[in-house]
Structure 1
C-alpha cells in the first residue's frame, strides 16, 4: 500500500490556500492508495507561540471546521482512495497535561496522528527549532554551541516518546531529525549516533512508527530525509515501521523526496 501519512491543508496559517481536494487529486495522480491529513493541532492552552507571526498552528476555534471538512472530502472520494482524518500534535516540555487533555477530548475523532517536536525550552523561554536559520542561530547562542541544541532536541524527543499522554497519544514520531534542517549553515561535529539509537530503541519498545519524511530534500540547507538513510536502515533492522510523509504544505509538494528515499517501499 502506497501511503502519504503527513499532509497539511489550507488550515495551516504558514502554508498555502491550495484546496484540500487538490491534494487528493494529486495523490491519486501519483498512485497513492492512502493519505493522512495531519494539520498542525492547536497549541496547548497557555502556551504562547514564539514565532514572529504566531502562525505555527490553526486556532482551536478552527478545529471543528477542519474535522468536518476532512470528513466531507472522505465522503466525496470514498472508494477511490483511503483518507484519514489526522493531526500533527506538538510535544512541548512543560505542557504535557494540557496536551493530554486536548487528546482526550479530540483524539476519538482522529484516524491517524503524528507526535512532533518543534519547540525547545531554554530556561523560561521557548524557540521554534525549524522556523528559520536566524532563529536557529539564536538558539545556538543561547545554548553555547550547535551540539547543545542537538542534545536538547534529542532529549526532548526522547521525553515525547516516553511521556504518558493518554489513550489517544499519536503512535508515529514526526521527522525525528528535524534538528538537521539547517545543517549546511550550522554543521555539527558529532554524529549523535548514541542519542539516535537510544531514540530508535525507545520507539521500538513503545511499539511506535517513524515518519519517513521527504521534506528535508527540498530544504536548501538540509538536502536529506528526516531521518537520513543510515537511521532509516537502523529502524528497518529493528523492525520499526516507516511511514512515508511528504509533509506537504502545498499541493505540488505531495510526493516530495519519495524517489530519493530507498526504503519508501517499506511504508505501511
Structure 2
C-alpha cells in the first residue's frame, strides 16, 4: 500500500495556500491509497518562536477549523483514498508539560501524528536549526563546534523518544537526521553513526515508527533522505515500522522522491 504520512497544508504559516483538494487529487492520481495531513501544531503559549516571522506553528485559533476541514474531506473522498487527521508536534526541551496539556486536549481528534525536533536550546534561548544555512552556521559558533551541535541535537532527539507525553504521544518520530540539512555547507563531515544507531535502537525499544522523509533530497546542502538509505535499511532490519513522508509544503512536492525511497520500504 502506498502511503504518504507527512504532508503540510494551507494552514501552514510558512508554507503555501495550495488547497487540500490539490494534494488529495494528486495523491489519488499517483495511486496512493492513504495520506496523513500533519500540519505543524501550535507552539506552546509561553514559547518564543525564534524564527523571524514567528511562523513555525499553526495558530491555535485555527485548529478547530483544521479538524472540521479534514472531517469533511474524509467523507468526501472516502471511496477514493484514506485521509488521516494528523499534526507534527514539536518536542521542545523545557516545554514538556505544555505538550502534554496540548495532547491531552486535542489528541483524541488525531488519527496519526509525528513528534519532531526543530528547536535546540542553548544558554536560555532556542534556535530553529533547519530555518536557514546562516542560522545553522551561527548556531555552531554559539555552541562552539559542529560536533557539539550534533551531540545536542541527538540528545534532544533521544529525550523526545524517551519522553513521557501521555497516551496521545505521537507514534512516529520525524526526520531523525534533520541536523544533516546543511551538512554540505560545513567544512567537515561529522561522524554521527553511533548516535543514529542509538536513536534507532531506542525507537525499536519504544515501539515507535520512523518517518522515512524524502525532503532532504531536495535540499541543496543535504542531498539525502532523513535518514540516509543505509539507515532506512537498518531500521527495516530492526523491524521498526517505516512510513514514507514527503514533508510536502506545496502540492508540487507531494510524494517527492518516492521512487528513490520505495525500494527501501
Which TM class, normalised by the smaller chain length?
over 0.9
Corresponding residue SS for 1:198 = helix
For 1:3, the equivalent position in structure 2 comes to: 3
For 1:90, the equivalent position in structure 2 comes to: 90
For 1:231, the equivalent position in structure 2 comes to: 231
For 1:150, the equivalent position in structure 2 comes to: 150
For 1:71, the equivalent position in structure 2 comes to: 71
Q: Give how far 1:189 is off.
A: 3.5
Q: Residues 94 and 50 from structure 1, CA distance in 2 versus in 1: closer, same or farther, beyond 3 angstroms?
A: same
For 1:134, the equivalent position in structure 2 comes to: 134
Gaps of 5+ in 2: none
Q: Give how far 1:187 is off.
A: 4.8
Q: Residues 187 and 117 from structure 1, CA distance in 2 versus in 1: closer, same or farther, beyond 3 angstroms?
A: farther
For 1:61, the equivalent position in structure 2 comes to: 61
Quote the Cα distance in structure 2 between the aligned partners of 1:129 and 1:211: 18
For 1:26, the equivalent position in structure 2 comes to: 26
Corresponding residue SS for 1:46 = coil
For 1:210, the equivalent position in structure 2 comes to: 210
For 2:104, the equivalent position in structure 1 comes to: 104
For 1:200, the equivalent position in structure 2 comes to: 200
- Normalised to the residue count of structure 2, the TM-score between the two structures is 0.98
- Normalised to the residue count of structure 1, the TM-score between the two structures is 0.97
The answer as to whether partners of 2:108 and 2:168 remain within 8 angstroms in 1 is yes
Deviation string, structure 1 residues 154-192 (Cα, Å, up to 9, x no partner): 100000000000000001000000000011102543321
Quote the Cα distance in structure 1 between the aligned partners of 2:51 and 2:93: 17
Gaps of 5+ in 1: none
For 2:14, the equivalent position in structure 1 comes to: 14
Quote the Cα distance in structure 2 between the aligned partners of 1:263 and 1:170: 26
Quote the Cα distance in structure 2 between the aligned partners of 1:206 and 1:263: 26
Q: Residues 110 and 262 from structure 1, CA distance in 2 versus in 1: closer, same or farther, beyond 3 angstroms?
A: closer
Quote the Cα distance in structure 1 between the aligned partners of 2:17 and 2:7: 13
How many residue pairs end up in the alignment? Answer: 265
* Superposition RMSD in Å: 0.9
